[in-house]
């Protein structure tokens, strides 16, 4: 069966420090991968998605970047964190649904606090 691992679960970082959040998927090949951010009362905002190794699409211009060095690894990074980067970050993967569209599966999230 497929599983998705996301770490760390919580992270407290000072403003201006770098960031690296990692997500790995097991039990599937060539998944679509996603990074979402969830800010209080603002729902889920799609940050990046990837359809293959080295292929990254950015949905929102910001202080963050993403990389996919391996088929089942997706990394969210920042060189210098801002206060506004605080939030709950969710990694997800998807596979085509036989009835149409995509089936989306989420990791357990990382609560990032920038102080």
Partner 1 sequence: AQSVTQLDSQVPVFEEAPVELRCNYSSSVSVYLFWYVQYPNQGLQLLLKYLSGSTLVKGINGFEAEFNKSQTSFHLRKPSVHISDTAEYFCAVSDSSGGSYIPTFGRGTSLIVHP
| Min separation Cβ 101 and partner 1, Å | 4
Q: Within positions 69 to 108, which residues make up the interface with partner 1, using CB under 8 A? A: 90, 92, 97, 99-104, 106-108
Closer of 15 and 39 to partner 1 (Cβ) = 39
Closer of 38 and 80 to partner 1 (Cβ) = 38
Alpha carbon 19 to chain centroid, angstroms: 12
- Tell me how many degrees the CA angle 64-55-36 measures, rounded to the nearest 5: 40
Closer of 65 and 109 to partner 1 (Cβ) = 109
What span, in angstroms and rounded, lies between the C-alpha atoms of 56 and 18? 20
- Here the tokens at position 35 are 């990074």
For 92, half-sphere exposure in the C-beta direction (CA atoms, 13 angstrom radius) is 20
Interface region with partner 1, contact rule CB under 8 A, candidates 11-19, 34-42, 60-68, 79-87: 34-42
Backbone angles phi, psi at 60, to 5 degrees: -135, 120
Cβ-in-10-Å burial (0-12, 13-18, 19+) of 42 comes to exposed
- Regarding 21 and contact with partner 1 (CB under 8 A), the answer is no
| Min separation Cβ 72 and partner 1, Å | 17
Interface with partner 1 (CB under 8 A):
6, 9, 34, 36, 41-44, 46, 49, 90, 92, 97, 99-104, 106-109, 111
């Amino acid at each position: 069966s497929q599983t998705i691992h996301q770490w760390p679960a919580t992270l407290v970082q000072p403003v201006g420090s770098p960031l690296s959040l990692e997500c790995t998927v097991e039990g599937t090949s060539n998944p679509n991968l996603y990074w979402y951010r969830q800010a209080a009362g603002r729902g889920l905002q799609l940050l990046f998605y990837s359809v293959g190794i080295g292929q990254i699409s950015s949905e929102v211009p910001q202080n963050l970047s993403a990389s996919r060095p391996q088929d089942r690894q997706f990394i969210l990074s920042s060189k210098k964190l801002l206060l506004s980067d605080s939030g709950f970050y969710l990694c997800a993967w998807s596979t085509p649904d036989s009835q149409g569209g995509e089936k989306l599966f989420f990791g357990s999230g990382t609560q990032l606090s920038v102080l």
